[in-house]
Amino acid sequence: MKERLFSGIQPTGGLHIGNYFGAIKNWVKLQEKYECIFGIVDYHAITVNYNPEEMRRRILDCAISYLACGIDPEKSTLMLQSLVPEHTELAWILNTVTPLAWLERVPTFKEKVSQNPQNINTGLLDYPVLMAADILLYKSVVVPVGEDQLPHLELTREIARKFNKTFGYTFPEPREITGKGARILGLDGVNKMSKSLNNCIYLSDSPQVIWKKLSTAVTDTNRKRREDPGNPEVCNLFSMHKLVSKKEEIETVRRGCQRAGIGCLDCKKILAENMSQELEPIREKQNMLWENLKDVEDIIKEGSNKARMIARQTLKEVKEKIGLYFN
Ligand code: AQP
């Protein structure tokens, strides 16, 4: 029996290289070792302002990106959260064992509040409980995430512990797996790369667009002129080199930058070339999948039905334990 793994991405916009290096690239490897369920978590996506007319396309875009990156529906379950109502049902139950103070201290809540001052809704505060439900519904043992999600996972463990203590052992406490690109900064070099911050290289970007974005991206801000030596360790683009460039190239760039042997533009050219090479096969596959939407929709529906079978069992057990089961 393989251990079960759950992870998901919210369809708040096109997927970017933060989602890819921080999550999906790792998922592709993990599907060999674990029983994987990968969710498109659309109920999370409606906690921020969005256009309902765009949501369907975003969901499809998310599924297409998963498949284009190498998620294989023969090996893994690809599901849509809103097609499995047990997610929200379990979230409600978990709400009742989650002290309000635990949610108020979550750092992403404070961030989202400052980003969305016009729409501070209860869903934003409750987001981590829904995420706990996503994970615990499948009794997942491992959860691959980027660094930004670690406080949420800690909270999931606390909620599982509290539920188990109150109603008897039900949920394993999941452990995290973080990949090589656990925290990718945006092109501004300051904030996390985020769909909502418009600081991204998207998986659908062409080599021309990638070059255009990288050519104006922020590097080591202390390096003012071409002749100044730079510090690659504080340069966001150097951390991207580490994800896509070969070892020798990384060393050439490191030494060149430290000795002012190469300028930022030279470094960016190499990076743009290597980034495009990594993303081009994904982009081609995405374009092909957009031509075959019916197949993509079938994969989402089949995966969601499969996930629902597990979800129903867990919810039955939970309802029995909390005294709400009538058959
Ligand atoms: N910049 C990043 N670096 C590394 N990992 C990242 N992830 C997201 N951004 C980065 C990882 O991708 C997975 C899915 O994240 P998500 O889209 O569901 O939520 P998010 O972290 O809130 O992503 P965004 O782009 O920042 O979305 P918005 O702007 O809508 O809030 C997670 O495993 C995450 O760690």
pLDDT digits (tens, 9 = 90+) for 4-33: 999 999 999 999 999 999 899 999 999 999
Number of domains in the chain: 2
Domain carrying residue 271: 207-287
- Residue 213 token pair: 């974005």
Q: Report which DSSP code applies to 202.
A: B
Q: In the prediction, which pLDDT does 299 show?
A: 98
CA distance 78 to 40: 8
State whether residue 39 is helix, strand or coil.
strand
Q: Is 112 a catalytic residue?
A: yes
Q: Is 195 a catalytic residue?
A: yes
Q: Given pLDDT bands bounded at 50, 70 and 90, which one contains residue 235?
A: very high
Q: What is the 3-state secondary structure (H, E, C) of 130-152?
A: HHHHHHHCCCCCEEECCHHHHHH
- Domain at 232, CATH number: 1.10.240.10
Q: In the prediction, which pLDDT does 327 show?
A: 64
Please say whether the beta carbons of 156 and 129 come within 8 A. no
Regarding whether 29 and 122 lie in a shared domain, the answer is yes
Regarding whether 313 and 271 lie in a shared domain, the answer is no
User: Cα 308–122–173 angle (5° rounding)?
Assistant: 50
Residue of the CA atom closest to atom 7 of ligand 1:
19
CA distance 218 to 67: 31
Amino acid at 266: D
Share of the chain above pLDDT 90, in %: 84
Regarding whether 179 and 125 lie in a shared domain, the answer is yes
Centroid of ligand 1 to alpha carbon of 192 (angstroms) = 8
Please say whether the beta carbons of 40 and 300 come within 8 A. yes
Q: What is the pLDDT of residues 256-266, one digit of tens each?
A: 999 988 999 99
Please list every protein residue whose CB sits less than 6 Å from any atom of ligand 1: 9-10, 12, 18-19, 22-23, 145-146, 148-149, 181-184, 192-196
